[in-house]
């Protein structure tokens, strides 16, 4: 499952970047006088609906496809993973129905990456049959419950139920919209677009190929302002503290893909549906495969502005985060209050910012731990902050941090506290067209207090040089 998820995410980056060639919003040059910028809430200038959108649904087809997927997955796991855990019978189903829900001991990657991706498949099966975001989340929740009771012989797991249904929905909606970006503005016959969309959202492409035209609509007004980039580069450890990890610190060759969708300020674009704004980011390396994955979107909110220089959105955000630097791992499914905004600080200088804070169901673990008791779950507060300074469509400075604060967490053997900080500082200079160079500093730090673990700190820092490809040939500022 780990290798499958990594392969799909690598292909996802390629397919979605291809989409930006046809869909990417390309802002005009910054206005000569920001005070003369027209109102941001002008009537829409374009009315577009994805070609396969229809106003009808198929609840039955969605349910049958999810059940069919589960049968196939169960048989594959029974044949190639652990037969005892997937030898489902009437007796095992009855036992699970009477059993208390527990926290299982599956590997971290299975629980925190495999299960959310499985949930995204349930979610996208429903979405590609015309269901709304919230209806599709309900199907992901029900599908997860069915799998926990009738897909495995082990007792049902509450941590899997949370990550599969909610984490899977937050990941699934981003994948669904990116697949639509790949297909948008095409005539529906390009094999490369079909392949790209299938890699991003197999469920959507499956229903397209079998003739379904029930895909839920996305755009009733203006299409979103987006900014994407693919970075390829090399990083070297600058400092580290392994703590209780026995893993070897290594240099990395990494690929980093990011897409920000629905940036504030686009004329006519509205925020009526969940994930009309979202950020998706995935980083893979030669050391540990999937190094990080973030899918964060606004579930409900409103727009705001200040004078003619600022445009923003604020509301409730849902997020799924997976972080696996070389020494430890952390994953979180969370709900937060937050905001995104863009401000014209000067004629050629824009600032884009994000801030949010909320509570998530967090899992942490040490990679190659020297002792037990280092794999924990719990609800913990968290916050995210991002700043992006864009100068003259030529240079950008990106600063971001994600903090998972002290939260009482319980482990499979013991309880304790855990806190993690992830920081990123990047300086990018656009050479010409879509080509840019980026100098990047990454820091991943963990402090914890658990019984029977002497070391209390872990840290891994790196500095790297990256080539960046930005298909919009811009640095991401939205003009209004």
Residue 40 lies inside a defined structural domain of this protein: no
Q: How many residues does the chain have?
A: 480
Question: What average pLDDT score do residues 85-94 get?
Answer: 94
Write out pLDDT tens, residues 151-197.
Answer: 999 999 999 999 999 999 999 999 999 998 888 755 555 788 888 88
Residue 165 lies inside a defined structural domain of this protein: yes
Question: What average pLDDT score do residues 285-291 get?
Answer: 92
- Do residues 195 and 244 share a domain? no
Write out pLDDT tens, residues 21-58.
Answer: 333 334 444 444 443 433 333 334 343 444 344 457 89
Closest CA to 122 of 70, 180, 179: 70
- Do residues 195 and 264 share a domain? no
Residue 82 lies inside a defined structural domain of this protein: yes
Choosing from 182, 209, 236, the residue where a domain stops is 209
Q: Kindly state the tokens that stand for 245.
A: 């990890």
Give the number of other CB atoms < 10 A from CB of residue 248. 9
- Do residues 377 and 232 share a domain? yes
- Do residues 205 and 254 share a domain? no
| Residues 362 and 385 sit within 8 Å (Cβ to Cβ) | no
- Do residues 166 and 306 share a domain? no
What whole-number distance in Å separates Cα of residue 85 and Cα of residue 155?
10
What whole-number distance in Å separates Cα of residue 247 and Cα of residue 327?
6
| Residues 251 and 463 sit within 8 Å (Cβ to Cβ) | no
- Do residues 267 and 196 share a domain? no
- Do residues 366 and 406 share a domain? yes
What whole-number distance in Å separates Cα of residue 236 and Cα of residue 442?
10
State residue 351's pLDDT score. Answer: 97
Position 92 pLDDT exceeds 80: yes
Residue 298 lies inside a defined structural domain of this protein: yes
> 41-59 in b/e burial notation, b at 16+ Cβ within 10 A?
eeeeeeeeebebbeeebbe
Residue 454 lies inside a defined structural domain of this protein: yes
Closest CA to 291 of 372, 360, 235: 235
| Residues 163 and 111 sit within 8 Å (Cβ to Cβ) | yes
Give the number of other CB atoms < 10 A from CB of residue 345. 14
State residue 306's pLDDT score. Answer: 92
Write out pLDDT tens, residues 303-322.
Answer: 999 999 999 999 999 999 99
Choosing from 175, 209, 243, the residue where a domain stops is 209
| Residues 420 and 403 sit within 8 Å (Cβ to Cβ) | yes
- Do residues 363 and 339 share a domain? yes
Q: Which domain holds residue 365?
A: 222-469
- Do residues 342 and 410 share a domain? yes
Position 216 pLDDT exceeds 70: no
The contacts of residue 407 (CB under 8 Å, 6+ apart) are 362, 378, 379, 380, 381, 417, 418, 419
Residue 158 lies inside a defined structural domain of this protein: yes
- Do residues 356 and 296 share a domain? yes
What whole-number distance in Å separates Cα of residue 163 and Cα of residue 141?
10
- Do residues 199 and 88 share a domain? yes
Vertex 86 angle, CA 85 and 92, to 5°: 80
The contacts of residue 93 (CB under 8 Å, 6+ apart) are 149, 150
CATH of the domain at 274: 2.40.160
- Do residues 406 and 437 share a domain? yes
The contacts of residue 446 (CB under 8 Å, 6+ apart) are 243, 327, 328, 330, 364, 418, 419, 420, 421, 457, 458, 459
State residue 206's pLDDT score. Answer: 87
State residue 156's pLDDT score. Answer: 95
Residue 480 lies inside a defined structural domain of this protein: no
Vertex 39 angle, CA 430 and 399, to 5°: 35
Query: What is the percentage of the chain residues whose pLDDT exceeds 90?
Result: 61
Domain count, the chain: 2
Residue 477 lies inside a defined structural domain of this protein: no
Write out pLDDT tens, residues 238-257.
Answer: 888 888 888 877 889 999 99
Query: What is the percentage of the chain residues whose pLDDT exceeds 70?
Result: 82
State residue 343's pLDDT score. Answer: 97
Write out pLDDT tens, residues 115-147.
Answer: 999 999 999 999 999 999 999 999 999 999 999
Choosing from 209, 230, 248, the residue where a domain stops is 209
């Amino acid at each position: 499952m780990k290798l499958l998820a990594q392969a799909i995410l690598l292909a996802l980056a390629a397919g979605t970047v291809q989409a930006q060639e046809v869909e990417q919003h390309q802002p005009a040059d910054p206005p000569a006088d920001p005070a003369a910028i027209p109102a941001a809430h002008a009537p829409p200038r374009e009315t577009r609906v994805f070609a396969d959108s229809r106003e009808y649904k198929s609840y039955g087809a969605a349910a049958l496809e999810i059940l069919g997927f589960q049968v196939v997955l169960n048989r594959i796991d029974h044949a190639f993973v652990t037969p005892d855990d997937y030898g489902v019978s009437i007796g095992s189903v009855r036992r699970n129905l009477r059993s208390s829900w527990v926290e299982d001991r599956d590997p971290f990657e299975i629980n925190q990456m495999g299960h959310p991706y499985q949930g995204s498949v349930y979610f996208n099966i429903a979405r590609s049959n015309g269901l709304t975001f919230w209806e599709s989340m309900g199907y992901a929740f029900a599908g997860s419950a069915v799998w926990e009771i009738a897909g495995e012989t082990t007792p049902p797991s509450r941590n899997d139920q949370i990550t599969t249904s909610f984490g899977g929905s937050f990941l699934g909606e981003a994948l669904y919209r990116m697949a639509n970006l790949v297909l948008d503005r095409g005539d529906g016959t390009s094999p490369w677009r079909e392949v790209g969309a299938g890699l991003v959202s197999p469920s959507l492409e499956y229903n397209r190929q079998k003739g379904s035209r029930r895909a839920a609509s996305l755009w009733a007004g203006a299409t979103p302002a987006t900014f994407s980039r693919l970075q390829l580069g090399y990083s070297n450890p600058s400092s580290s503290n392994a703590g209780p990890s026995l893993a070897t610190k290594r240099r990395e060759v990494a690929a980093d893909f990011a897409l920000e969708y629905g940036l504030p300020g686009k004329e006519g674009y509205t925020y009526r549906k969940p994930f009309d704004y979202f950020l998706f980011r995935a980083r893979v390396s030669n050391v540990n495969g999937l190094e990080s994955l973030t899918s964060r979107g606004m579930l409900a909110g409103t727009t705001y502005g200040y004078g003619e220089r600022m445009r923003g959105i604020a509301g409730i955000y849902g997020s799924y985060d997976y972080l696996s630097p070389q020494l430890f791992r952390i994953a979180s499914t969370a709900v937060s209050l937050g905001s995104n905004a863009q401000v014209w600080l000067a004629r050629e200088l824009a600032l884009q910012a994000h801030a949010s804070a909320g509570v998530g169901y967090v899992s942490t673990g040490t990679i190659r731990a020297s002792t037990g008791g280092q794999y924990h779950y719990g609800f913990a507060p968290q916050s995210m902050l991002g700043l992006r300074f864009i100068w003259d469509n030529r240079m950008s400075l990106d600063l971001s941090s994600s903090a998972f604060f002290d939260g009482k967490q319980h482990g499979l053997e013991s309880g304790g506290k855990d806190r993690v900080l992830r920081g990123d500082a990047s300086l990018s200079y656009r050479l010409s067209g879509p080509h840019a160079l980026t100098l990047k500093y990454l820091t991943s730090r963990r402090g914890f207090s658990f019984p029977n673990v002497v070391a209390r700190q872990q840290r891994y820092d790196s500095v790297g040089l990256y080539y960046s490809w930005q298909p919009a040939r811009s640095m991401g500022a939205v003009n209004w």
